[in-house]
Structure 1
Amino acid sequence: MKITDSVLRSFRVARTYRENSDKVNCLEYSPNGENAISSSDDDRIVVYDITRGKPIDTLYSKKYGADLIRYTHRDSQKVIYSSNKLDDTIRYLSLTDYKYIRYFPGHTARVTALSMSPVEDMFMSASLDKTIRIWDLRTENVQGLTEPLDRPICSFDPDGLIFAVGVNSQSIKLYDVRAFAKGPFNSFELRMNRSCDWTGLKFSNDGKQILISTNGGMICILNAFTGDVMHKFSGYNNSKGLKLEACFTPDSQFVMIGSEDGRVHVWSTENKMKVAVLDGKHPGPISAMQFNPRYMTFATACSSMTFWLPSVEDI
């Protein structure tokens, strides 16, 4: 099934799970789309089976807390996650026996972004300590650091060849993965609403666009090659300055974001038109959302987790 305006408008809530007692910080689909995992403020890490449509296990990280979580690039049984208690170490966890494989210490302040390379055992982390660190899953030793950057967020491109860094909510720097020690090979200054801060940065799957999320009522899409602002999207509720996650659909043709009133807003990246507003009856703001990379489904989360499917009758 191709993702179209009518298909997106047809999406309805398929299942809602209330495994958490507090806000879900992050959710992530496995590379094959068959599993999903979430981390939350109640220290729970919940694993979901997408093919069976249900949660299959819950882990507790009471000592360290659980903030950002990512599957490794080719293994749906291993994840990395950042902490929001005790220290700012990143942990590498096996989901088969729930044992830690490795620890990645070094950050001295909260991790603000965690991005796994799509092609190799490399990941990077950005922190309020003004560093971006490059890691290899096979060793706890940091592989490299960028120069000090104010309030950084970061993401790999879909080919794993470059990564982008958002700095101080006003500029984008592009780095070559193999030569990041030389500094950025390109940078863009953006003129955006300075009353809000950038909270997320993602590439589209075709590598042509960069999506910037904010803690205000606006998200924007940039040309990944020139840095030009292509579209700005607003008209969703975020009056409290929340960190609301936005995402592309896998075909890069649409962008989605949840709002503080529990609705999902969808726009076309081609014509800038809003194509859908979907009500998932979330009791709180939608803090996390992702579209499945393989299957026609997406997930949204507040303190509960909701999975969506298209309704054939409505297409």
Structure 2
Amino acid sequence: MKITDRVLRSFRVARTYKKSPQKINCVDYSPNGEHAISSSDDDCIVLYDIREGTETSVLYSKKYGVDLIRYAHQDSQTVIYSSNKLDDTIRYLSLTDNRYIRYFPGHTARVTALSMSPVDQAFISGSLDETIRIWDLRAPTCQGLTNPLGKPVCSFDPEGLIFAAGVESQAVKLYDLRAFDKGPFGCFKTRFNRSCDWTGLKFSSDGKMILISTNGGMIRVLNAFNGSVLHTFSGYNNSQGVSLEACFTPDSQFVMIGSEDGRVHVWSTESGMKVAVLDGKHSGPINTLQFNPRYMTFASACKNMMFWLPCPDDM
């Protein structure tokens, strides 16, 4: 099924999971789209089977806490995650036996970005210590470090050859993974017309666009090659300055973001027009939002986790 305006407007909540007394802070889909995982502020890691529509298990990280979480490369049985208690070490966890495979120490402040390479076992992390570190799942030591001269959010491009860093909420710097020590090969400055912090950065799946999320009431889509502003999207509620995650659909044709009032807003990246506002009756701000890379479903979360499906009767 092709993702269209009409299909997006037909999405309805198919399942709701009410497990967490505190907010869910991160959601990720496995590369094959058959599994999902969430982390929450009460130290829980919850696993979901997407095809069966079931919650499969709950793991805990009581000692370290759990913040950002990502599936490891092409693997639905292992994850990496950052901590929000004790220290800022990144941990590599086996989901099958709840065992730590490896620790990645080095950051000295909260990790604000975690991005797995789409092509191999490398990953990058950005931190409030104003560094971006490059890692390999097979080695505990940092494989490289760059100082982007400010607090970064960062992400790999779809080919895993370059990564982008949003620095100090005012510039996007592009790095060649094979020559990152030479500094960025490109830098785009883009200022928002209202005060806000950049909270996330993502490439579209076709590699042509970069999406910047903020804790203000607007997000922005840039041309990934020259940094020109393609769209600035606003008109959703975020008066409290919540860090709201935005995402592209897998075909790069739409951008989605949750809002403070619990609704999901969708825009076309071609026309720049808003095409849908979806109300799943979330009880609070939608902190995290992800579209499945393989199947026609997406997840949104506040304290509750919701999985959405298109409704044929509304198409």
Q: Under TM normalisation by the shorter chain, which class is it?
A: over 0.9
1:95-244 equivalences under 5 Å are 95-244=95-244
Which residue in 1 is equivalent to 2:292?
A: 292
Specify the SS of the correspondent of 1:75. coil
C-alpha distance in 1 between matches for 2:15 and 2:74: 27
Cα distance, 1:193 vs structure 2 = 2.7
CA positional deviation for 1:19? 1.4
Deviation at 1:194, TM superposition (A): 4.7
User: Runs in 1 of length 4+ with deviation above 2 angstroms?
Assistant: none
Q: Give the superposition deviation at 1:148.
A: 4.7
- SS of 1:290 mapped into structure 2: strand
**Matched residue, 1:57:** 57
**In structure 1, C-alpha distance between the alignment counterparts of 2:113 and 2:14, rounded to whole Å:** 30
| Distance in structure 2 (CA, Å) of the matches to 1:210 and 1:219 | 11
Aligned to 2:78: 78
Secondary structure at 2:7's aligned position in 1?
helix
In 1: Cα distance, 2:193 partner to 2:150 partner: 18
For 1:270, the aligned partner's letter is E
Offset, 1:295: 0.2
Change (3 A) 1:253 1:87: same
The alignment yields a C-alpha RMSD, in angstroms, of 0.6
CA distance in 2, matches of 1:172, 1:141: 27
Structure 1 Cα separation of the partners of residues 107 and 81 of structure 2? 13
Q: Give the distance between the partners of 2:286 and 2:231, measured in 1 at CA.
A: 22
Partner of 2:304: 304
Instruction: State the partner residue of 2:91.
Output: 91
> Identity of aligned pairs, percent?
76
SS in structure 1 at match of 2:36: strand
d(CA) in 1 for partners of 2:149 and 2:30? 30
Q: In structure 1, how many angstroms separate the alpha carbons of the residues matched to 2:191 and 2:153?
A: 17
**Secondary structure in 1 aligned to 2:282?**
coil
TM-score, structure 2 as length reference: 0.99
Q: Secondary structure at the match of 2:98?
A: coil
What amino acid does structure 2 have at the position aligned with 1:35?
Answer: H
State the 1:191 CA deviation. 2.5
Structure 2: runs of 5 or more not aligned: none
Quote the Cα distance in structure 2 between the aligned partners of 1:53 and 1:217: 33
Q: Deviation at 1:150?
A: 1.1
Deviation at 1:111, TM superposition (A): 0.2
Q: Which amino acid aligns with 1:121?
A: Q
- 2:171 is aligned with what amino acid? S
The total of aligned residue pairs comes to: 315
SS of residue matched to 1:179: helix
Query: Corresponding residue for 1:264?
Result: 264
CA distance, structure 2, for counterparts of residue 158 and residue 193 of structure 1: 29
CA distance in 1, matches of 2:37, 2:191: 36
1:35-77 C-alpha deviation (Å, 9 max, x unpaired):
0000110100000000110110000101100000000121110
Q: Is the 8 A contact 2:148 2:167 kept in 1?
A: no
- TM-superposed deviation, 1:24: 0.5
Q: Which runs of 5+ in 1 are unaligned?
A: none
